[in-house]
Chain A
Amino acid sequence: MKALSQRRRHPLAAVVLLLMALLATGGIYAAASTANEAQAQTTAFTADDVDEGSKLFAANCASCHGMGATGSDAAPSLVGVGAASVDFQVGTGRMPMQMDGPQAQVKPVQFDDEEIRQMAAYVASLGAGPAIPSDEILDPAEGDTSAGGELFRVNCAMCHNAAAAGGALTRGKYAPSLEGTSEKHIYEAMVTGPQNMPVFSDANITPEDKQDIIAFLKTIEEQGSPGGADLGSLGPVSEGLFIWVAGLGVIIAFTVWLTSRSS
């Protein structure tokens, strides 16, 4: 201790202290965020955010979801759906809903990030629910692509198609294509189960597994189609259509040409 106290006026003492302080806050933050995982941002909302969000909600959402977000005949209660739900639905343009129908459609996003955050803060304040995921858990580089692929084929491909090109559900509902969907929105969709999608809770698919799935989706999206144009990745139907229309069409053009000069 003597050595330490002797050097407390050393010119570099301030620098060392600063470094130690930075290390401590960084370390605590890192520990806190891994411990909290998805809940990290719930606490980051301020009372101001909730206040602003409440106003935005009353102006834009309450006509269907009701004042206080308790729901109406037209729309469900939002108490307990969590910030992730708002971030997904509003952030992908599904809400406010374009029109009544089997399910909400994607359209241009109506609010900026700040407004979405404020509405998320308001809805999160109404009751505990899935929070907006942290950036670490979304990083596809940290995920295991082939493990994600297996999870995707077992859990997701029956609706979203093996190449994530989307598919039909009953009565006009559908599972959309996942191409171009951000990591955050993929994660939020899994934890909140928007539209007709089931909820894949952390007990069902752990956050690490979710990260693997995101890694798989981002890998197949970035690598493109190794065999040439993918014809929508829709499987044998588009291939059959292609050979009948384009393949046979070109062949017929040649047969007509080859026999045009005869007799």
Chain B
Amino acid sequence: MSSSTATQPYVPKTRVGKVTDYVDSRVGGSTIVKEFGRKIFPDHWTFMFGEVALYTFVILLLSGTFLTFFYDPSMAETTYEGSYLPLRGVEMSVAYASSLDISFDIRGGLFMRQVHHWSALLFVAAVAVHMLRVFFTGAFRKPREFNWVIGCTLLILSLAAGFTGYSLPDDLLSGNGLRIIDGVMKAIPVVGTYLSFFLFGGEFPGTAIIGRLYVLHILLVPAVILLMIGLHLFLVVLHKHSQFPGPGRTNTNVVGYPVGPVYAAKAGGFFFIVFGILAAIAAAFTINPIWNYGPYDPSPVSAGTQPDWYIGWVDGALRLMPGTIGNFDFEFMIPFPWGTNALPLNVLIPALVPAIILFTLMFAWPWIEAWVTKDTREHHLLNRPRNAPTRTAIGVAGVTFYCVMWAAASSDLIATHFMVSLNDVTYWLRVLVILGPILAFMVSRRISLALQRKDREVALHGRETGRIVRLPHGEFIEVHEPVDDYKLYTLTSFESPLPELPTPGRNGKVSRLDKVHGRVSRFFFEDRVAPVTPKELAASHGDHHEEVAGAKDREAISSR
């Protein structure tokens, strides 16, 4: 305290300085800048997908606000009198008519609609890729488990935002999507019909649903997303960003650039790059041409009716599910005291089971893995995916499961574009949805281990140069070039846990849970490639240099 009274208080001299000081002494901006501006963020291209998601969300807010100025979520009947000729005089809802007006009669409206829709597709894609990066590099480990859960919630919220928005134009395509939602709801025994009546305000489609979805789409869902993004970023700052292992990068430091000024400038520029890319796409490529689909009418369903990509996998699961197998029709009649209720498993299984499997595993994964590894340390250094072979393989299996269902959602287009039978596409995908993940697991684990082995080879014996040298006595050798120390560090500094055997407890017995843990631990870590030890490295180096040097000598001799 005494030293601070001794220093002169800061007196600004210029006018700008005075204004800045006035604001700063009341807002405390300089402390924020000092703290946050010096925050270090490591650089890697895979770290930028979260940023892409954030930016697309901002673009969604901006373009969405524009759309709300002109959109009318009413399901009242009207006759279209706008400027799109093939629909003039057609009866439709006000919601659809106002969406057409945005597209054809409001200056810049179609562009904004397309910016909004393309951004939505990119938003969910960026969220998904960001999550895959976090998963495969192990960035969800302690202390980031809760942030992973927030991220999972954000994914579900972005699906909700996407789906509610997709339905708003009240065109034929989105109406058919709502019809499927209605069908799935009604398939839930006992409460299904009540849920559907509650959501639609009566029998499908009713006159309430568009207004309700609109409120969810522009108020509730984005507000919760914004809240979650706030929490998410707060935790990122709190935990500091994780980094890939490398020389000088440890579990207790972060190597990279500070936020201010370089990183902030780069990130700000990147926002405009993303905006520019989306604007260019929206200007040149049409998306959701609602004028093609026509107003919603429960009777027609046109070919090529699919949801947007992020809901596609559920649609695909519904397409893959057989209605009956032989005489078994998956439908059960349950006698309740108040009457018989149907349990249509051929709807409920595809609509709910894959989602339950994927989302449960996704939310619980940090704790599942922590239980397997029994690892309670903090991790700020990322894994290279190959160095966690079983996790990588499980991730690839999950991606495969998802992608097969995703492909099934476009089974009709696969059939027409590759000139194959739609039925055969369905049969093959039914096989693949079961076998695909298993095969993908085995193959990707083998590939991970093989890559580890290659790393080991490179660390011990150097890079293959492709230069073949003939020795005087006729032997051919390939010259290996030792890698530099930086590369060597990256190749050798990783952990490869050993399987943990179950050990007897105090009473001398092995508990059942321990046995299970032992088995799972073996499954995870039995197949492993040991990291190179310093001793091995030293031994190989001596060998190596001698060999290369000798080869050069002999080469020189032989070329004479």
| Residues of chain A whose beta carbon lies under 8 Å from any beta carbon of chain B | 102, 145-150, 153-154, 157-163, 165-172, 174-175, 216, 219-220, 223, 225-231, 233-244, 246-248, 250-252, 254-256, 258-259, 262-263
Contact = CB atoms under 8 A, between A and B. Distances in A.
A226 B422 contact: no
Contacts of A167: 302-304, 412, 416
A238 to B, nearest CB: 8
B90 A149 contact: yes
A241 B316 CA distance: 15
A80 B165 CA distance: 52
Nearest to A237: B410
B301 interface: yes
A223 B297 CA distance: 25
15 contacts: A157-B302, A160-B303, A162-B292, A162-B302, A172-B421, A228-B285, A233-B289, A235-B173, A237-B304, A237-B306, A237-B409, A243-B281, A243-B309, A259-B47, A263-B42
Nearest to B84: A226
Contact of A168 (B121, B277, B282, B416): B416
A254 B273 contact: yes
A174 B294 contact: no
B306 A172 contact: no
Contact of B277 (A158, A165, A229, A250): A250
Contacts of B411: 168
A228 B114 contact: yes
B85 interface: yes
A168 B294 contact: no
A149 B293 CA distance: 10
B164 to A, nearest CB: 16
A165 B412 CA distance: 13
Contacts of B288: 236, 239
Contact of B305 (A235, A243, A263): A235
B421 A227 contact: no
B304 A234 contact: yes
B125 A169 contact: no
Contacts of A240: 121, 308-309, 312
A236 B303 contact: no
B317 interface: no
Interface string B103-116: 11000001000100
Contact of B86 (A154, A172, A219, A235): A219
B422 A258 contact: no
A236 B286 contact: no
Interface in B302-353: 302-309, 312
Nearest to B291: A226
A100 to B, nearest CB: 14
Nearest to B311: A236
A153 B125 CA distance: 32
B28 interface: no
Contact of A158 (B283, B287, B301, B307): B301
What DSSP secondary structure best describes chain A's contact surface? Answer: helix
Q: How large is the interface on B (under 10, 10 to 19, 20 to 34, 35 or more residues)?
A: 35 or more
A235 to B, nearest CB: 4
B303 A262 contact: no
A226 B302 contact: no
Given A162-B302, A227-B289, A237-B304, A259 B44 contact: yes
B420 interface: yes
Contacts of A216: 86
A147 B89 CA distance: 8
A172 B419 contact: yes
A172 to B, nearest CB: 4
Contact of B121 (A247, A252, A256): A247
B416 A236 contact: no
A247 B125 contact: yes
Contacts of A263: 42-43, 255-256
Given A166-B303, A168-B412, A251-B52, 14 more contacts: A167-B304, A174-B416, A227-B110, A229-B286, A235-B304, A237-B410, A239-B308, A242-B285, A248-B126, A255-B45, A255-B49, A259-B47, A262-B43, A262-B256
Contacts of A161: 302-304
Nearest to A149: B86
B309 A248 contact: no
B309 A146 contact: no
Contacts of A247: 118, 121-122, 125, 277-278, 281
Contact of B306 (A102, A235, A254, A259): A235
B413 A234 contact: yes
Given A158-B300, A172-B420, A251-B52, A243 B43 contact: no
Contacts of A236: 173, 288, 306-309, 312
Interface string B397-436: 0000000000001111101100111111000000000000
A175 B302 CA distance: 12
A153 B172 contact: yes
A244 B285 CA distance: 14
A146 B79 CA distance: 12
Given A165-B304, A251-B274, A259 B416 contact: no
A239 B277 contact: no
